[in-house]
Every structure is written in structure tokens, then in C-alpha cells.
Amino acid sequence: MASHKVVLHFPLHQLNQPVVNNLIKRYDLDFNILRAEVTPNERGFVVLELTGEEQNFCDGLAWLDTLGVTVQPLSEDVVRLDDRCTHCGACVTSCPVDALYVDRPSQAVIFDQEACIGCGICVDVCPPRAMVVQF
Ligand code: SF4
Ligand code: SF4
């Protein structure tokens, strides 16, 4: 048995489909939803802890890929290099838990490390590479 924390991002055409239910039934996985958010006609994601046989987990990921569902592993120890951050805001809409947000009225982008679940999404969208995952 193995346990994995992952973020699933759903394409528009899958937003109203029972993807997670089908995943756990097809691949005999247990799940715990850590966070979920769906904006109709825009985006949807769910942060899950999946538990089951490793092969079933891998097969499940392959099946999700055929549906166009993007799977991102959760990682740990995300930090922001403040001297690199330009407060451009590019990361704000990508963060699934609002750990990056714009402060008003200063317009500064704030990183709330306590709220961060370590998905690593901001690392890829930050132009000056200010968000870093430490291993
Ligand atoms: S994308 Fe990078 S540079 Fe822009 S606000 Fe976020 S952390 Fe700062
Ligand atoms: S890694 Fe980045 S995108 Fe993911 S939760 Fe933390 S701040 Fe948000």
C-alpha cells in the first residue's frame, strides 16, 4: 500500500464528470479530499490523498491522462526568494489554496507559507523564478 498527495486539474469538458469517483472505483483506491474548487466554465481542481496498490495508482494516473486531467504531485518546503519577486501577480490565480494573494491597497503579492500545500504550481508560472521548491 502506498499513499500519494496529488493535485488534479480538470479540463473544461471534464468539470461536470464524476472523474474522482470513477478513478477510485476503477483502480481500487481510497481517497481523502484535502481541497477542491470548481469554477463553472473556467477551471477545476482537487487536492487528493490517494491510497492503494502502487500499480493501481500508476494505472489510475495513466487513465487520468487519457481524459486530459493533469496530475501534479504535492511537494514540500516551498519558499519565495523575496529579492527576486517583482509582485507581477502571475502566480496568484494559479495557487489552488490562495496562499499567494494581492494585498490591498499596497498591491504587493503576499506569500502565506502556512497556507501553502506545496503543490509547486507557482514555481512553473513565476517569470523570475522567485518561487522555489527545496528538497
Ligand atoms: S509570479 Fe513570481 S514574481 Fe510574480 S508575484 Fe508571484 S512570486 Fe512574485
Ligand atoms: S506551492 Fe505555490 S501554488 Fe502551490 S500552494 Fe504553495 S504557494 Fe500555492
Q: How far apart, in Å, are the Cα atoms of 87 and each of 21, 99, 110, 131?
A: 39, 14, 8, 12
Query: What phi and psi, each to the nearest 5 degrees, are found at residue 119?
Result: -70, -25
Mean pLDDT of 57-75: 90
- Report the atom number in ligand 1 closest to the C-alpha of 128: 3
Predicted TM-score (pTM) of the model is 0.60
pLDDT digits (tens, 9 = 90+) for 107-121: 999 999 888 888 888
Rounded CA-CA distance 62/51 in Å is: 16
How far does residue 15's CA lie from ligand 2's centre (Å)? 22
Amino acid at 22: N
Q: If you take atom 3 of ligand 2, which residue's CA is the nearest one? A: 95
**Mutation pick for ligand 2 pocket among 45, 78, 81 (CB with most ligand atoms within 8 Å):** 78
Question: What is the pLDDT, as a whole number, of residue 135?
Answer: 45
Q: Which domains does the chain have, with CATH numbers?
A: 2-73 (3.30.70.260), 78-133 (3.30.70.20)
Q: What are 46's strand-pairing partners?
A: 8, 36
The band of 106, judged by pLDDT with boundaries at 50, 70 and 90, is: very high
The band of 76, judged by pLDDT with boundaries at 50, 70 and 90, is: low
Q: If you take atom 5 of ligand 2, which residue's CA is the nearest one? A: 116
Task: Output 70 or 73, whichever has higher pLDDT.
Answer: 70
Angle at 24 between CA 133 and CA 3, to 5 degrees: 40
The band of 43, judged by pLDDT with boundaries at 50, 70 and 90, is: confident
- Report the atom number in ligand 1 closest to the C-alpha of 125: 1
Q: CA nearest 116: which of 77, 72, 71, 73?
A: 77
